[in-house]
Amino acid sequence: MWNEISGGVCAAKGFTAAGVHCGVKEGSSPDKNDLALILSEKECTAAATYTLNRVKAAPLYVTMDHLEDGTAWGIVANSGNANACCPLSHENAQTMSEAAAQVTGREPGDFVVASTGVIGQTLNIGAIQAGLPRAAAALNRDGSDAAATAIMTTDTRKKEIAVSFELGGREVRLGAIAKGSGMIHPNMGTMLAFLTCDCAITQEMLSDALHEVVARTFNRVTVDGDTSTNDMCVILCNGMAGNPLIEWKDENYQLFLEALEHVCRALSRGIAADGEGASRLVTCRVEGARSEESAERLAKAVVGSSLVKAAMFGADANWGRVLCAMGYSKAPFRPEHVDIAFRSQAGEILVCRQGDGLEFDEDQAKAILSQDEVIIAVNLHEGEDAAECWGCDLTYDYVKINGDYRT
């Protein structure tokens, strides 16, 4: 079992982090960090997942190359510019790693490189080169918060978590930061997620664990149906906890997997709740399904529906939109068996039984749907499998934010 602790990406032994303002985006506030650096005392086993968007930003290709040997020492990341689909993108991504190496005494290939922000504009690499010496000087055990804010773009709150758990009689710590608010419909992870751990684990086991967990967490988030060009989820493990090496899918692997899933699930929910302009987190849980895959497809269709999202914004118990979204999900189910209920801290109300609408108290339904988190509970009554996906409501502010995001 795990316990939540403080520290973020610096909770694990041997990791330091920093975040500074370097002016990546012209005219950006000097109070907003836009350059993050994370570094381990020892070489780390590394694994990553990336966007499935056919259009990929240059930092992803550089990171893929650097992680080909399954190891890394640190992460350098900027906000304010995606370094995607622009002149000198690959050269600038490589220069970021070279500059990080120079100020830390490492090699360029030791670094994961990540960027987030506007697509299509040439990266201000000079600002990053000038800022990295300050970032390196600021590296410390309390730097997770600064790094977490440095990777934020339209995020309104930082996403940061850490846990401790025991493996083979040794305390292991796992921490993470993430960013994501808009352009979220992942086919790997989220826009950016960085995880650090002091667990001793082989690269094969680490990669298997990350891919398994990402499929059940980050890949079940949708804010607006847009898969980013820059999505990346990376985990670094330096082995400094001194636990017995995880090299098989044994009991220790399962404990590690559970802790990793807890961390990624918390970040996923945080990203969905912070969707651009969002006023509430919308969770859809589908149970009684024939398979977990079909339950996931149905749940994601519901939280991804613009009409469902708009109804949630208006606290309107328009359950027909839920059933409609399920119907075009291409997942098999029998509509005549479906029950739908809305649930929150204010209570629960059943609005559909066996595919037919029920009379219900509209005032009670509105009170339930007006809470910070709303759960759409669907029971298919067809099997034993279930899945949960996360999204948010669709507000006027989403259009305002994205109407002039570039300018």
Closest CA to 151 of 3, 37, 303, 273: 37
Hey, how many other C-beta atoms are within 10 angstroms of the C-beta on 258? 16
Q: Give me 69's structure tokens.
A: 């040997």
Residue 78 bridge partners (DSSP): 35, 115
Give the integer Cα–Cα distance in Å for 278 and 374: 12
- Ranges of beta strands (E only) in 253-302 are 281-289
Q: The sheet that has 347-353: what strands, in order across it?
A: 356-357, 347-353, 339-344, 373-379, 281-289, 385-392
DSSP, res 14: T
CA 277 to chain CA mean position, Å: 18
- CA distances to 279, 281, 302 from 312, rounded to whole Å, are 9, 9, 11
Distance in angstroms (rounded) separating the CA atoms of residues 43 and 181: 32
Beta strands in 238-327 (DSSP E): 281-289
Do the bridges between strand 71-79 and strand 111-116 make them parallel or antiparallel, or are there none, so unpaired?
parallel
d(CA 309, CA 230): 25
Structure token digits, residue 141: 């055990």
Instruction: State the catalytic residues.
Output: 190
Three-state DSSP at 58 gives helix
